[in-house]
Amino acid sequence: MVEFKIGVGTLNLSERCKRYVNQVLDSNRLSYGPFLKKFENEFARIHDSKYAVFTNSGTSSLHIAVACLKERYGWQDGDEVIVPAVTFIASSNVLIHNGLVPVFADVEKDYYGIDPSLIEDKITRKTRAIMPVHLFGLPCDMGSIMKIAQKYGLKVIEDSCETMFAKYNGRSVGSFGDISCFSTYVAHLLVTGVGGLTVTNDPENAVILRSLANHGRDNIYIHIDDDKDKSREELKEIIDRRFSFVRMGHSLRGTEMEGAIGLGQLEEHEEMMRKRRQVASKLLDGLKDIRQIQLPKIREDCDHSFMMFPVVLHNESKERFVNYLESKGIETRDMLPLVNQPVYKKFFGLRENMFPIADWINKNGFYIGCHQDISEEEIQHIIKVFHEFFSFGGQIR
Q: List the CATH code of the domain at 15-266.
A: 3.40.640.10
| One-letter identity of residue 327 | S
Q: Determine the straight-line distance between the first and last CA of the chain, rounded to whole angstroms.
A: 21
Q: What is the pLDDT of residue 2?
A: 60
Task: Report the length, in residues, of the chain.
Answer: 397
Between CA 200 and CA 65 the distance in angstroms is 9
Residue 31 has a pLDDT of 95
217, β-bridge pairs: 245
What pLDDT shows up at residue 304? Answer: 98
pLDDT of residue 182: 98
Q: Span 269-389: which CATH code? A: 3.90.1150.10
In this structure, the strands spanning 80-84 and 127-130 are: parallel
Per-residue pLDDT of the chain (397 residues; tens, 9 = 90+): 568 999 999 999 999 999 999 999 999 999 999 999 999 999 999 999 999 999 999 999 999 999 999 999 999 999 999 999 999 999 999 999 999 999 999 999 999 999 999 999 999 999 999 999 999 999 999 999 999 999 999 999 999 999 999 999 999 999 999 999 999 999 999 999 999 999 999 999 999 999 999 999 998 888 888 888 889 888 888 888 988 999 999 999 999 999 999 999 999 999 999 999 999 999 999 999 999 999 999 999 999 999 999 999 998 779 999 999 999 999 999 999 999 999 999 999 998 789 999 999 999 999 999 999 999 999 999 999 999 999 854 444 4
Strand partners, 196: 55, 183
The predicted structure's pLDDT at residue 158 = 98
Domain residue ranges in the chain: 15-266, 269-389
The answer to whether the CB of 347 falls within 8 A of the CB of 318 is: no
Are both 15-266 and 269-389 of the same fold? no
